[in-house]
Chain A
Amino acid sequence: MSDTVMDKGFFAPKGGSKIMEWLFTTDHKRIGMLYLWAILIFFSVGVCLGLALRLELFAPGPTIMTQQAFNAIFTLHGVVMIFLVVIPSIPAAFGNIFLPLQLGAEDVAFPRLNMFSFWLYIVGGGIALTSLFTAGGAPDTGWTFYVPFSSISTTNVSVAVLGVFVLGFSSILTGLNFIVTIHRMRAEGMTWLRMPLFPWALYATAWIQVLATPILSITVLLIAIERLLGMGIFDPARGGDPLLYQHLFWIYSHPAVYIMILPAMGVISDIIPVFCRKPIFGYKTIIGSSLAIAFAGSLVWAHHMFVSGMSDTAVMVFSFLTFIVAVPSAVKVFNWLSTMYKGSIRPEPPLIFALGFIFLFAMGGITGLVLGSAGTDMHVHDTYFVVGHFHFVIFGGTGMGLFASMHYWFPKIYGRMYNKRIATWSAIIIIAGINGLYFPMYLLGLAGMPRRYYDYLPQYTDLHQLSTYGSWITAMGLVLMFWNLWHGRKHGRVVGKNPWGAATLEWTLPSPPPTHNFDEDPIVTHGPYHYDGLIPEEDAVNESEGDK
């Protein structure tokens, strides 16, 4: 491939206004890129808010902000990160770009609905952010919007939940689109059991999106009508029950964490075999575990409510059910490790991120058992232990999954390679930073530090400071990583179609892929991890660089 004239693929202007052709595009790859950029922008906002929270907690007492600002910022950090970043992250960005490519399809099933989902996402995000600057100011309820506080808070909760409603709708439509795409748009020969594990993970995720998200929609609608019309649905004096709010909220929001983690698990399942030059171990088991997680994840929501005053029977039942989810999650981890066993391992950056995922996810997953067990949960409920657990799983898991996808598919999207040495270092810094940032939280939680507190007793100071230092290391790693990718977009070394030697269909296309995807409909004759005859182009590059 010539170095000077590069085919721009789907980036190539179609003539006419450049802004319009991007904003109103129905090309799944462009929509995916729009999502990716929007998500990364919201992500940097969320990171800044998180850094501000850590800075406030650097010392006891007021440090840089007021109590009300602290409440608003942790609410906003949660809303932005959960609804605008993590839930759409991998499915909406990389799912959109690569699902049709991996299936051998020309687009998703409903391209215009896809554009509509993106617009709902932007509008929903806009509404959520509007709540900050309009009547009453930024919501201070926490991202969970628990009643009764959310129905009486004088801050602008109504507008914020309306934003969440719209975002939920966007998520539902993406899931719907993916289910139909996977059922109806697979290329000839792409049987269900020849699909890569990323589409499988998206399939399981999409079902949760379709079946669980409407419960969130109705829940936040109820808050809005509670505030606007005073229905009294959660007011005990009028026959309501505030605990039912928590039930409804977690009926969605627990499965939602599987919306967040399953696509990341799919990416990791696709990355590990490529860099071990070995078919995935237990392909069908991983599919089964994805579906099992999606289903079992719908049975466990009330483990968020062990100390809420619900019945002891429910505490026992939900605690028991919670442990079921651990089984398929562990199955995946063991399968990844077994895939690596005796593999011919290439320590390229995507694999480093994937290994970071496994380590950090295991740290978060195992502490999840402490929380799932009702007895121990009583001790650490609503402490920093929960904050640590959640961030290990979601930032350490989904976040690393997102970064792994970015490094894995970067050469496919841009046809260039970032600086791999810097990428590896940024991965190591981020992994170290995450441990520094969140591990002290486990200790803080065990020592009794409650979450969402503005102030704390002096004995917690050391651990809080350690955590804040960790946040700085993480931030530095992120800056390094994003700068490296940004730079690589335009100045990276030009690469061929298949630098990693992967066997899924997207790597048979030019990089960047052309607008119409496949020149002729592909016919699939083998599975997604069939590496015979595929030699990673990067091997030669690494070797010649090693000679220098």
Chain B
Amino acid sequence: MHTTDTIKDTEHHGPSYTLFVIIWAILLVLTGVTVYAAEIDLGFLNVVMALSIATIKASLVTFIFMHLKYENLTFKIMVLMAFAILSIFIGLTFFDTAYRVAV
């Protein structure tokens, strides 16, 4: 298997089996890390930590498993836009709920 080469000429062939298995292994390790990290009590940071690791995992899935890394710029911008809009929806809602006078 020629892992390094495949990344370059994936335009037509997609990533190799090996790369996928490596990514899969990393995903499993990250799953272990996030489960382990949840045992330590960091208060609110637990949520931040859990979401950060989830986002790393999600990026690996999106860029490698879903081939986004090998798609052209248009696709990447579109994906970015979808996530940006979702974060706007969540973020702006907090202008209400985070500042509500005690219920």
Q: Direct A–B touching in the complex (beta carbon < 8 Å)?
A: yes
A residues sitting closer than 8 Å to B (CB atoms) are 183, 207, 211, 215, 236, 241, 243-244, 247, 251, 298-299, 301-302, 305, 310-314, 317-318
B97 interface hit (Cβ, 8 Å): yes
Cβ contact of B82, chosen from A211, A305, A317, cutoff 8 A: A211
CA distance A311 to B82 in the complex (A): 27
Cβ contact of A310, chosen from B81, B88, B96, cutoff 8 A: B96
Answer whether A211 and B85 are a contact pair too, CB < 8 Å, given A247-B93, A311-B96, A311-B101. Answer: yes
Measured CB to CB, the closest approach of chain B to A293, in angstroms, equals 15
Q: Which of B92, B97, B99, B100 has the most CB of A within 10 A?
A: B92
CA distance A215 to B82 in the complex (A): 13
Work out how many contacts link A and B, with CB atoms closer than 8 A. Answer: 46
CA distance A302 to B93 in the complex (A): 8
Measured CB to CB, the closest approach of chain B to A362, in angstroms, equals 28
16 additional A-B residue pairs with CB within 8 Å, beyond A211-B85, A310-B96: A236-B103, A243-B96, A247-B93, A251-B93, A298-B85, A298-B89, A299-B88, A302-B95, A302-B96, A311-B95, A311-B96, A311-B98, A311-B99, A311-B100, A313-B96, A314-B95
Cβ contact of B99, chosen from A244, A247, A299, A314, cutoff 8 A: A314
A310 B100 Cβ-Cβ under 8 A: yes
CA distance A243 to B74 in the complex (A): 37
B residues sitting closer than 8 Å to A (CB atoms) are 74, 81-82, 85, 88-89, 92-93, 95-101, 103
Residues of A within 8 A of B103 (CB): 236
**Which residue from chain A places its CB closest to the CB of B86 in the assembled complex?**
A211
CA distance A312 to B96 in the complex (A): 8
Measured CB to CB, the closest approach of chain B to A342, in angstroms, equals 39
A251 B89 Cβ-Cβ under 8 A: yes
Specify the main secondary structure of chain B where it touches its partner. helix
Residues of A within 8 A of B95 (CB): 302, 311, 313-314, 317-318
Measured CB to CB, the closest approach of chain B to A205, in angstroms, equals 15
CA distance A310 to B103 in the complex (A): 11
Measured CB to CB, the closest approach of chain A to B15, in angstroms, equals 24
Measured CB to CB, the closest approach of chain B to A236, in angstroms, equals 8
What would 26 A/B residue contacts be, using CB atoms closer than 8 Å? A183-B74, A211-B81, A211-B85, A215-B89, A236-B103, A244-B93, A244-B97, A247-B93, A298-B85, A298-B89, A299-B92, A302-B95, A305-B96, A310-B96, A310-B100, A311-B95, A311-B98, A311-B99, A312-B99, A313-B96, A313-B98, A314-B95, A317-B92, A317-B95, A318-B92, A318-B95
CA distance A211 to B74 in the complex (A): 16
Residues of B within 8 A of A211 (CB): 81-82, 85
CA distance A236 to B100 in the complex (A): 14
Measured CB to CB, the closest approach of chain A to B85, in angstroms, equals 5
CA distance A488 to B85 in the complex (A): 46
Residues of A within 8 A of B85 (CB): 211, 298
Measured CB to CB, the closest approach of chain B to A308, in angstroms, equals 9
Residues of A within 8 A of B97 (CB): 241, 244, 311
B93 A298 Cβ-Cβ under 8 A: no
**Which residue from chain B places its CB closest to the CB of A301 in the assembled complex?**
B92
**Which residue from chain A places its CB closest to the CB of B93 in the assembled complex?**
A247
Residues of B within 8 A of A215 (CB): 89
Q: Which of B74, B82, B93 has the most CB of A within 10 A?
A: B93
Measured CB to CB, the closest approach of chain B to A235, in angstroms, equals 13
Measured CB to CB, the closest approach of chain B to A374, in angstroms, equals 13
CA distance A242 to B89 in the complex (A): 17
CA distance A109 to B48 in the complex (A): 42
The 8 closest A-B pairs by CB, nearest first: A311-B99, A314-B96, A313-B99, A310-B96, A314-B95, A311-B100, A317-B95, A211-B85
Measured CB to CB, the closest approach of chain B to A51, in angstroms, equals 38
CA distance A312 to B100 in the complex (A): 8
Measured CB to CB, the closest approach of chain A to B24, in angstroms, equals 29
CA distance A299 to B93 in the complex (A): 10
Residues of B within 8 A of A305 (CB): 96
Measured CB to CB, the closest approach of chain B to A535, in angstroms, equals 40
Measured CB to CB, the closest approach of chain A to B5, in angstroms, equals 30
CA distance A317 to B82 in the complex (A): 23
CA distance A302 to B95 in the complex (A): 10
A298 B101 Cβ-Cβ under 8 A: no
